[in-house]
Amino acid sequence: MEKLLAPIADFLLCETPQSWIDEAIKPENLPTLLIDHANCELKAAQTAMLLLRRYAVDKPSSDALLAWLKPYEDFVYRKVGNGDFSNYINLSKKLMSKSDFEHGDELISKMVLLIKEELHHFQQVWEIMQSRGVTYDNLTASRYARGMMKGVRTHEPAKLSDTLICGAYIEARSCERFAKLAPYLDAELEKFYVSLLRSEARHFQDYLSLATKISATNIDERVTFFGEKEAQLIQLPDTEFRFHSGLPQL
């Protein structure tokens, strides 16, 4: 755990406050925690898919990505289907890179693997929810991701580089919170969250590596910029409890 967490701790500019952990482990907040966690796994897959569709793949490949995620999106957002995704966990089509994007093949390779992992984790959270009688209710999104993305520049390649840096922070914070929560949870959830940390610990580095290669300039200043923004979102009072929310309002 310590070895996995060391680079994450070095990257993030603050730790999750104890007051958030105290709120997260309240029994009455477990359904919200699990639902929002499932939502976060799906959103991570959607973000990777959008990056591929926007920058890296041709039209047939873009359509294949949409079809891959559609059953999950239908279930979560439109309440279509019974939540059995056993036939939808693999992408059957080989994705083709756009010829005019230099880093297309690497973006495809890393993002397809990430999508597969995030969808698998989404299904795992959903199975835990079912076993505990947690209904998949609709939740409003937290301010966190939206707050991060407000700082993204609008011109390319800066927009893509900034988006990847934001993705790195979101992934790193998720792993940090898996580790923070695990010791306080029951045996099943503790084991699950530790397994997620092991699986997802490298994701933030994949995002940073791509941002470095794609950016026309050194990204250190932008990493610091988003790091400060991320720490502020984590440490300021928040009106709603979510997986990435800030301090609970008393």
pLDDT, position 39: 97
Cβ atoms of 47 and 146 within 8 Å: the answer is no
The token pair that represents 179 in the structure block: 């580790």
Q: How crowded is the C-beta side of 105, counted as CA atoms within 13 Å?
A: 2
Question: Residue 152 and residue 177: Cα distance in Å, rounded?
Answer: 24
pLDDT, position 93: 63
What is the CATH topology of the domain spanning 2-248? Ferritin (1.20.1260)
| Percent of the residues in the chain that have a pLDDT greater than 90, as a whole number | 85
Query: Rounded to two decimals, what is the model's pTM?
Result: 0.94
Does residue 90 have a pLDDT over 70? Answer: no
Q: For 74-95, what is the mean pLDDT?
A: 80
Q: For 11-39, what is the mean pLDDT?
A: 97
Q: Name the band, by pLDDT with cuts 50, 70 and 90, for residue 50.
A: very high
pLDDT mean across residues, the chain:
93
Give residue-wise pLDDT tens across range 169-189.
999 999 999 999 999 999 999
pLDDT, position 235: 97
- The H or E element spanning position 228 is helix 220-235
Alpha-carbon torsion, ordered 14, 218, 216, 165, to 10 deg = -10
